[in-house]
Amino acid sequence: MVNDWVLAHTGAAVTDSVLLQNLWGGYGELRRLYLQDRPSVILKCVLPPAEECASVSDRRKRRSYEVEQAWYQGPARHSQARLAACLATGGAGETRLLLLEDLANAGFKPGRPPQVGAGLRWLARFHASFLDARPAGVWEQGGYWHLDTRQEEFQRMPAGPLKEAARALDLLLKKARYQTLLHGDSKPANFLWKNSAEAAAVDFQYVGAGCGIRDVAYFLDCCASSSQVESWLDFYFRALQEACPDLPEGLEAEWRRLYPVAWADYARFMQGWGRPGPLDDYGRQQLRRALALL
């Protein structure tokens, strides 16, 4: 049935397929499909496991795949930043199908170590594309870790100043004057690299409105040492200015000021999910800076 669907949307028969990965939590799979006399394509097939039905996590994941389809059907076309072209969306019942350009055909490949500059340039172009945009279908608030959808993790946090300030820090980010669309899961694993200057991104399940520095703080936490953060922030804002020559006055100052808030907000999630220990020296410094803004 899926092969017939692909044939209907590409005009080419599937000659072979290779499993690239299973989706997080057993929600489906990602495959590379080889077509007759055509370039390969990527098929994302989402089929939620029946046993997970109705949990908080399950509802969040199901909604995330709805958002991803809505993203590719509309707003994605307006992105300056490189991403896969959407060839078709579909599905029936609980199954969702997303047929995408295979970015490998354009020279983009996963790899380590991540190219930090290329990733930040991608984020700058992405954020510049959607300043003040509020497209329908995406999350009202972008990002997979924001407090409204992570109450279970919040309850698991150890007591302390970060937990006490979590709601106030979240509110600071929500009330930022300058908003854009967030990728929402901007870890290096969701980027493909062509060279040290070019990147493309995948996995838009958590795209939605927000302060762009949240994407940047998460990305840098994943792949840059604390001693490099300031220079990489300078790099990002230069790239943002290049991508948006008419950048609103005051945006850079606001987002720089909110960087420690965004960092602390992500640390709040990690303390309740997978990094429960105390903050290191850099983390305590960022938390102090964030708390000073309250």
Q: What is the dihedral of CA 115, 117, 118, 123, to 10 degrees?
A: 120
Q: What is the mean pLDDT of residues 108-131?
A: 94
123 with 101, same domain: the answer is no
Last residue of a domain, one of 81, 106, 131: 106
pLDDT exceeds cutoff 80 at 75: yes
Distance separating alpha carbons of residues 212 and 258, to the nearest angstrom: 10
99 with 125, same domain: the answer is no
Say how many C-beta atoms besides its own lie within 10 A of residue 183's C-beta.
30
Tokens in use for 28?
Answer: 């489906």
pLDDT exceeds cutoff 90 at 238: yes
85 with 128, same domain: the answer is no
Q: What is the mean pLDDT of residues 266-276?
A: 90
State the CATH number of the domain containing residue 58: 3.30.200.20
Within a domain: 111: no
User: What is the rounded average pLDDT for all residues in the chain?
Assistant: 94
Tokens in use for 153?
Answer: 């993790």
Confidence (pLDDT) at 196:
79
Q: How many percent of the chain have pLDDT more than 70?
A: 99
pLDDT exceeds cutoff 80 at 275: no
92 with 177, same domain: the answer is no
Last residue of a domain, one of 79, 106, 133: 106
Confidence (pLDDT) at 134:
87
Confidence (pLDDT) at 12:
95
Number of domains making up the chain: 2
Last residue of a domain, one of 52, 74, 106: 106
Confidence (pLDDT) at 53:
66
Distance separating alpha carbons of residues 247 and 140, to the nearest angstrom: 23
Within a domain: 286: yes
168 with 257, same domain: the answer is yes
pLDDT-derived band at 52 (thresholds 50, 70, 90) equals low
pLDDT per residue over 132-147, tens digit each?
Answer: 998 999 999 999 999 9
The answer to whether residues 142 and 182 touch, using CB atoms and an 8 Å cutoff, is: yes
Within a domain: 120: yes
76 with 152, same domain: the answer is no
Distances (CA, A) of 251 to 21, 78, 97, 155, 265: 38, 21, 38, 33, 20
The answer to whether residues 103 and 41 touch, using CB atoms and an 8 Å cutoff, is: no
Sheet containing strand 14-22, strands side by side? 14-22, 28-35, 38-46, 95-101, 86-92
46 with 87, same domain: the answer is yes
| Predicted TM-score of the model (pTM) | 0.95
Print the domain residue range for 98: 2-106
| Whole-angstrom Cα Rg for the chain | 20
Tokens in use for 189?
Answer: 């694993």
120 with 188, same domain: the answer is yes
